[in-house]
Amino acid sequence: MTRTMPFASVADVSERLAAVGYLPSDAIATTVFLASELGKPLLIEGPAGVGKTALAQAVSDATGSPLVRLQCYEGVDEARALYEWNHAKQLLRITASKDESWDETRADIFSEEFLLARPLLTAIRNEEPTVLLIDETDKADIEIEGLLLEVLGDFQITIPEMGTVRARHRPFVVLTSNASRELSEALRRRCIFLHVDYPDSDLEERIVQAKVPGLEHSLTKSIVRVINALRELPLRKAPSVSETIDWANTLLALGAVELDEDTMRDSLGVILKHRSDQEKAQKLLDMESALAR
């Protein structure tokens, strides 16, 4: 199994991620570099919409390696994560076999042709270096962690009917979690840990400029400032980077040149989805405009 270490340095990570539209903080660039150098999975935790999933995509883009994604959910199992046999096709094959011995048939139906590879197997079998994204790991039941530990431990998978598949290249593995459930210590121990939080204002402004290039710089600044103020409020769902970008796009489409009260009021729905959150934000705005008067 070869190890691919596509990055020359932390600075190289930053530059190449930026070149594909992802602007990493120091913490992000450093841990991506280390995960790649040490060949360990990168475990990313943090609130919704701060760019956890997008980071895996960006590493894939920046290194030209295909991205294989295992989206976790409650009840995801081995058959969905690893592989399963195509039963329908196997049965068809059995009915079609006329003059073969059963041994021949058995050998035949448990072969490549009837195997449905799921993300973990796909990533391991890939001929080229691969980015394997195990997204929202916390949504899966705890049992799946046993499977992950096995696969991420030695990057090989045993299929009883066919033998053991070893990875040609060690994939670059990213696990993400929203911490809706604590992941096990055993899994954590195996990973490089990265907590991603909302970016600081400076970085967020640069992200907006990169994603919404047409926007006036002063408007970008105002947007980020208001978003940051909103994140201070006790909201049910604080606006994330995705909302910042959506809002910037909306304002650009509306042809807004500055963020006045009316514009804000009219577009609040883009950044805050809950009614009660919108009301809280409205109160803040009223208070501030009262102050400003």
Partner 1 sequence: MTGGPDVGPDPYGLQQRLVDFVTALRTKGIMVGTGETVDAAEAMTRLGLDERSILREGLAGTLTRKHSQRETFDEVFDIYFPPRVGRPRSAEQVPADFDVETLRDMLVETLAVADLDALGELAEIAVDRFGEIGGDPAGWSAKQTLDRVQPQNLLARTMGLRGDDDAVVELGGVSPRDQVRDLIGRFRERVEDEARRRTSETRGRERMVLTAVQAQTEHVDFLSANAEQLEEMRRGVRALARRLATRLSVRRRRSHRNTIDIRRTMRKSMSTGGTPIDLVFAKPRPSRPDLVLLCDVSSSVSGFSGFTMLLVQAMKNQFKKVKVYAFVNAMADVTELISVDGDEDGAGLQARILEQAHVQHGTSSSDYGAAFAEFVARDLESIGSRSSVLILGDARTNYREPGLDDLREIRARSNRTFWLNPEQENIWGTGDSAAFDYADVVEMHECRSVEQLGEFVSRLLPA
Ligand X SMILES: Nc1ncnc2c1ncn2[C@@H]1O[C@H](COP(=O)(O)OP(=O)(O)OP(=O)(O)O)[C@@H](O)[C@H]1O
Scanning 45-53, 177-185, 205-213, 285-293 for contacts with Mg ion by CB under 5 A, the matching segment is: 45-53
Per CB under 6 A, the list member of 8, 48, 79, 179 interacting with ligand X is 48
d(CA 88, CA 151): 27
Regarding 53 and contact with Mg ion (CB under 5 A), the answer is yes
Shortest distance, position 131 Cβ to partner 1, whole Å: 18
Letter string b/e over residues 31-41, b meaning 16 or more CB atoms within 10 A of that residue's CB: bbbbbbeebbb
> Is 6 within 8 Å of 63 (Cβ atoms)?
yes
Contact 33, 60 (CB under 8 A): no
Judged by phi (left if over 0) then psi (alpha if -120 to 50, else beta), residue 191 lies in beta
Nearest approach, Cβ of residue 67 and ligand X (Å): 12
Q: Does 154 bind partner 1 (CB under 8 A)?
A: no
Nearer to partner 1, 65 or 222 (CB): 222
Is residue 242 a contact residue for Mg ion (CB under 5 A)? no
Please give the residues from 214 up to 253 whose contact with partner 1 meets the rule CB under 8 A. 222, 225-230, 234, 236-237
49 sits near ligand X (criterion: CB under 6 A): yes
Of 1, 19, 20, 38, the one binding partner 1 by CB under 8 A? 38
- Do the Cβ atoms of 219 and 254 come closer than 8 Å? no
- Considering the rule CB under 8 A, would residue 268 count as an interface residue with partner 1? no
**DSSP readout, 191-251?**
SEEEE--PPPHHHHHHHHHHHSTTS-HHHHHHHHHHHHHHHHS--SS---HHHHHHHHHHH
Q: What whole-number distance in Å separates Cα of residue 176 and Cα of residue 174?
A: 7
The tokens for 47 are 């609130």
Q: Which run of H or E residues covers position 186?
A: helix 185-189
Nearer to Mg ion, 169 or 211 (CB): 211
- The answer to the question of residue 279 lying near partner 1 (CB under 8 A) is no
Residue nearest Mg ion, CB atom distance: 53
Q: Interaction with ligand X in 234-273: which residues (CB under 6 A)?
A: 241-242, 245
Could you list the residues that contact Mg ion (CB under 5 A)?
Answer: 53
Could you list the residues that contact ligand X (CB under 6 A)?
Answer: 22-24, 48-54, 176, 178, 207, 241-242, 245
